[in-house]
Amino acid sequence: MSEFQQRYRVVEKLESGGMAEVFRAESEGLQGFRKQVAIKRVLPHLSEKTRFIQMFLDEARLSAHLNHSNCVQVFDIGVGDDAYFIVMEFVDGSNLKQIMENLRKEERSLPIASAALIVHELCKGLAYAHELRDRRGKPLHIVHRDMSPPNVLITKYGEVKIVDFGLAKATSQLEKSEPGIIKGKFSYLAPEAAMGQEVDARTDIFSVGIMLWELLAGKRLFLGESDFQTVQLVQRTDIPSISSINPLVPPRLEEMVNRALARDPVARYQSAREFAQELTTFLYEHGRSVDLFDIARLVHDTMRDNSKMRPRQSSRIDRLIEEALFEFTSLNQASGGRPNSPDATPIGRDSRLSVESSLSMQFASGRESDDVSASIVAQGVAGAASAIELLRPGNLSLLEGESSGRTTAQIARTGALIALAAAGAAIMVGWLLNLLP
């Protein structure tokens, strides 16, 4: 069955945070089949936390059951070199945080109807998740727990999608002493979550209410000078009148915002479905034409502005090295998906052949007359990959036992020099032969 093993080739790094990195990648199959996906990789220091990884895997498997147009779909879970991955639908667009920041930077206000439509779409996705049942009809009681602008993705066509259902629960249950894990998300907590009480679907509704308030006001609702102050603001739940900030907000919509942001969960909308239905009624009564094309224009404006600030792309040789080394095995094919399975193929193992093969094929396809030159570059980079492999702790300990007194540090220095020399030679040859940009 090895011919069916799925492989993912990284195209570019999209973003990184305190918990994970996100990459755009291609899923490669038979007969040249390719599909763009997004890969979220847990950062190495979290991969060592068994409890966190177990929750991550359990919740990621749960999120794989979500199949709705307003929820980002999860395709696979993977592991490589003790790093864990979640493979999901690639959303070509922007997140709501970027859109809101772009509007503030340009001192533009979001039309009332557009704000209501975005939140309406969010409520549709939440209603599906909150009401989802298993095969026996038992409610799954899914609560996102981390509804915030970065977790709302909007495509170039105006489709609104919620991401990170699986990661949210694992995040909320991490040890409190863990730094940098949920920083920046306190602003979108519900009061009961900020006080450590039980949460349910109404917790997500409060978070969505915060986003609606901010979309209408053009400013943040709960933002202190520190995380502690922000949590205190959430706990007090003092909500400024939205119409005093934006006089264009109709009284009916202000009532809906205040209900979603009620401090007592009993006073809020009791379901995302109820909130969505009231937003539908408002949009009909408001009498302003709005559709997903209007939302799409916001995304295009944001992507255009972000592209101007995008850092220069790495060289071709950097991209090829990353693509060749960043491949991983699906947990479904790695000993039944057990964490830290000895049968799971780590990234970089036997990497010399994979790097050399990948580079030779890609360079040769671009310049058939430079086969020999491409081979030199490929072999140089492959040598660097082999040297890097020597630096792995397990390999260093093996080499140390066979080195007749040489220390691990000496071996490491030697391996590093080999890697630098091989990579430097490859880059120099590529530059002299006009193979590299």
- Supply the Cα-derived Rg of the chain in whole angstroms: 25
Distance CA 200, CA 194 (A): 13
| 423 backbone dihedrals φ, ψ, rounded to 5° | -65, -40
CB 241 within 8 A of CB 258: no
Contacts of 385 (CB under 8 A, 6+ apart): 321, 324, 325, 348, 351, 352, 355
Q: Which of these is catalytic: 76, 92, 134, 146? A: 146
Active site residue 264: no
Q: Which amino acid is at 21?
A: E
Q: Which amino acid is at 429?
A: V
Q: Within 13 Å and on the Cβ side, how many CA atoms surround 163?
A: 23
Contacts of 107 (CB under 8 A, 6+ apart): none
Distance of CA 230 to the CA centre of its chain: 24
Distance CA 28, CA 341 (A): 24
Distance CA 189, CA 192 (A): 8
Active site residues: 146
